[in-house]
Amino acid sequence: MKFFVDTANIDEIRQAKEWGFCDGVTTNPSLVVKEGKVFKDVVKEICKLVDPAPVSAEAISPDLENMVKEARAVAAWAKNVVVKIPMTEAGLQAVRLLAKDGIACNVTLVFSVNQALLAAKAGAAYVSPFVGRLDDVGEDGMALIADIMQVFKQYNFKTQVIVASVRNTAHVTRAALLGAHVSTIPFSVIKQLFRHPLTDKGIERFNDDWKKLPESARKLIG
């Protein structure tokens, strides 16, 4: 499973990259606003930092003509840009046109199997079902991932499933168990993936025991 970092924060992306856990980045308008920078500048900076890994950046206009114009402009910012397109009628028409020109699209705000199916049929490179937002309204976000994976496998779609709106480490585990292609994970959750209380406790005990050896018996190097 690929790990995308769900952020527009350069420091977080840099750290995830140093750890070796940044196979791509997803942004959205809410994440970009938090950084207080010019949208185009942030996206270009992220693209350069993670090149050749894919970076999703959203087209905003709701109508087909302007959406396609924006998508083409965004796609020209860097060769690793993936244009995020909202799951609407105009959005899927745009995906069809853009895909013909080789522009990779990530259909966002997907909340049902049928929406994922339409996006795949339109030629989306990625679909982003939002699991956390489904959980928030009392549905089971991960059950949707299981269903979409089954349908995509059944019909051999090349569209990759990005598990989005990830809120906790259990979402990541379940995404991996289901064979999702990608999880896009907030930095705070990536940090938690390293941790287990028994690991911390185990390290502490080993270190304490190690100190019980005489110093002359503790040589590791040389």
Looking at the Cβ atoms of 34 and 215, the one nearer to ligand E4P is 34
Residue 9 interacting with ligand E4P (CB under 6 A)? no
How many chain residues touch ligand E4P (CB under 6 A)?
11
Question: Which stretches within 123-196 are classed as H helix?
Answer: 131-136, 141-154, 169-177, 187-193
Indicate the SS3 state at residue 26: strand
Residue 132 interacting with ligand E4P (CB under 6 A)? yes
17, 48, 84, 211: which one is catalytic? 84
Q: Write the Ramachandran bin of 138: left for phi over 0, alpha for psi from -120 to 50, otherwise beta.
A: left
Whether residue 84 lies in the annotated active site:
yes
Q: Write the Ramachandran bin of 136: left for phi over 0, alpha for psi from -120 to 50, otherwise beta.
A: alpha
Which segment (96-104, 124-132, 143-151, 197-205) binds ligand E4P by CB under 6 A? 124-132
Q: Which residue in the set 6, 12, 45, 70 belongs to the binding site for ligand E4P (CB under 6 A)?
A: 6
Residue 12 interacting with ligand E4P (CB under 6 A)? no
Residues 155-184 binding ligand E4P (CB under 6 A) are 164-165, 184
Q: What is the distance between the terminal CA atoms of the chain, rounded to a whole angstrom?
A: 40
Q: Which residue in the set 130, 144, 161, 172 belongs to the binding site for ligand E4P (CB under 6 A)?
A: 130
Q: Is the Cα torsion angle 104, 108, 111, 115 positive or negative in sign?
A: negative
Footprint on this chain of ligand E4P (rule: CB under 6 A) = 6, 26, 28, 108, 128, 130, 132-133, 164-165, 184
Residues with catalytic function = 84
